[in-house]
Structure 1
Amino acid sequence: MGRVPNWTKEEIDYLQDQWGVTSIKGISTRLGKSINAVKLKAQRMGLSDPRMNFDGITVCQLGKALGREYTIVKNWINRYGMPARKKLFAQSARVWVISYADFWKWAEEHKELLNLAKMEPGTIGPEPEWAKIKRKADQLRSQKTWQSIDWTPAEDQRLAQILKTEITYPDLARMFNRSEASIKRRIHDLNLKMRPVRLNNRIKYTPDEVQTLLRMAQEGYCYETIGQTLGKSALGVRGKLERMGFDFKRRRLREVAK
């Protein structure tokens, strides 16, 4: 049996430096060693899965980090232009990957697609400051325990009775543990004639209030939280943002064509 050639220090350094950067097949070709020899040496050196050593993340790993299905995240590539690419890690299998820097640059333009509430900091590489702020907003939003179950006949009857009193949308939302939008839809579905007392959302926003509104909307806070901060209803907050030309997907004001 032939003697297996020893690995030189230069070859070991190259293997360690390129692990996860260059495919195993590429390393094998560069060093003139078999693929099995490269894998075995990497294992003995304690090198982890090459996908975990890449300065970025696979789309599959990204989905798990964000708590989203792989098909949903992969759809972001074609539908929203997420700059992922295919990379060869092993002999022939290519997987979708994206660098940390490219992901966060893209994510800043598509904040509405992300929910960082349950994602630990650093899971997707070094985070920009805006991501830390959005995590707090998402965590606050996730604390809202609005019901998504069907309305019961008892709730419908109670809603109809309460509407005969002077009560606002925010008060109803808190009383039924639902969003203001849900309350509004239910009133419409039941064809109820009475309506809640609307907060005076027509009072002009002060310049400071407009700045607070835009900042909180850009940071990802829900309309109820913004409304509580400004003393407005959530419906009024959303309406104001719509009139200002706010882009709800990118979380910023739309650019006006010149």
Structure 2
Amino acid sequence: MGRNSNFSISEVEYLENNWGIKSINAMANDLNRSISSIMNKKTRLQLGAFLDNGEYITVNQLFKAIGREKGTGYTLRNWIRKGFPVKNKKVLNSSFRVVYLEDFWKWAREYRMHIDFSKFKENELGLEPDWVKGQRRADIAFSKYKVTQWTKKEDSQLESLLGIFRYSYRELSMQILRTEAGIKRRINDLGLNMWPIKDLSRSWRSEEISIVTDMYNNGYKSDVIKEYINKSAQAINGKIERLIRDGILVKHK
């Protein structure tokens, strides 16, 4: 194998059409050329890195694009269980986990509630589907609710507000910027004998149901939806479950 002649027009077209799709070994074999000659020609043609072909990216590049630096191993395993379309791509003697962008966007739309788009810069992976902008807005709205470990200052603030016996879960959540479920867990973890006051029970108004339906369909979480209606996230979750059961809403995957 290995010819010293210049690349023909058809060979150049072959490289341009197959770069990043076929392995380097396969292209060298198809053209009856050495790997080094393929790599040299690739440089002269400015074809870019093998994994920068625009059709797919490595899993590491994907996590970097969406702003995930920690816990990527757990996230990937969780995604794979949900059908994440990861594939193995071999380049010379190295193997990479990659995902084709078209396959990713199809999967992401179906499982978008498992992806945090708040740090996902617009068009970071090239032109993105229209629905991504709305999901990005929804995730940015939720990002103010902290999911990090509670600080002593937050614990003191929570205990102080509970001691006033004036605030509901909804009101505490909007002051402390923790989810209602997170506040409930923290009260249990701290062994506190104080609880938020109960929200007054009242019937749902049609405009409230419309807001819940619209925001849910656009990827908003209940802790954000509660900011737009005078209902707790827990009450909103219950309403969403009933709307799903009645066939009005489709449950997120």
TM-score (norm 2): 0.82
Overall identity of the aligned pairs, in %: 30
Query: Aligned-pair distance for 1:199?
Result: 4.1
Identify the residue that residue 252 of structure 1 maps to in structure 2: 250
Give me the whole-angstrom Cα distance separating, in 2, the residues matched to 1:184 and 1:80: 29
Give me the whole-angstrom Cα distance separating, in 1, the residues matched to 2:36 and 2:212: 59
Identify the residue that residue 223 of structure 2 maps to in structure 1: 224
Query: Aligned-pair distance for 1:135?
Result: 0.4
Identify the residue that residue 86 of structure 1 maps to in structure 2: 88
The runs of at least 4 aligned residues of structure 1 exceeding 6 Å deviation read none
Query: Aligned-pair distance for 1:28?
Result: 0.6
1:61 aligns to 2:61 (yes or no): yes
Query: Aligned-pair distance for 1:177?
Result: 3.8
Indicate the RMSD between aligned Cα atoms, in angstroms. Answer: 2.9
Distance 1:223 1:74, change over 3 A: closer
3-state SS of 2:227 partner: helix
Identify the residue that residue 162 of structure 1 maps to in structure 2: 164
Query: Aligned-pair distance for 1:174?
Result: 3.2
Distance 1:119 1:9, change over 3 A: same
Distance 1:3 1:108, change over 3 A: closer
Structure 2 unmatched ranges of 5 or more: none
Query: Aligned-pair distance for 1:237?
Result: 1.2
Identify the residue that residue 135 of structure 1 maps to in structure 2: 136
Query: Aligned-pair distance for 1:193?
Result: 5.2
Query: Aligned-pair distance for 1:27?
Result: 1.1
Distance 1:110 1:33, change over 3 A: same
Query: Aligned-pair distance for 1:20?
Result: 0.9
Please say if residues 199 and 233 of structure 1, whose CA atoms lie closer than 8 Å, have aligned partners that are also in contact.
Answer: no
Per-residue Cα deviation, 1:16-51 (whole angstroms, up to 9, x for no partner): 221111111111111111001100111122221011
Identify the residue that residue 242 of structure 1 maps to in structure 2: 241
Distance 1:228 1:18, change over 3 A: same
Please say if residues 77 and 84 of structure 1, whose CA atoms lie closer than 8 Å, have aligned partners that are also in contact.
Answer: no
Give me the whole-angstrom Cα distance separating, in 2, the residues matched to 1:221 and 1:252: 14
Query: Aligned-pair distance for 1:121?
Result: 1.8
Query: Aligned-pair distance for 1:198?
Result: 0.8
Give me the whole-angstrom Cα distance separating, in 2, the residues matched to 1:176 and 1:41: 59
Identify the residue that residue 29 of structure 2 maps to in structure 1: 29
Identify the residue that residue 122 of structure 2 maps to in structure 1: 121
Query: Aligned-pair distance for 1:77?
Result: 5.5
TM-score (norm 1): 0.81
Structure 1 unmatched ranges of 5 or more: none
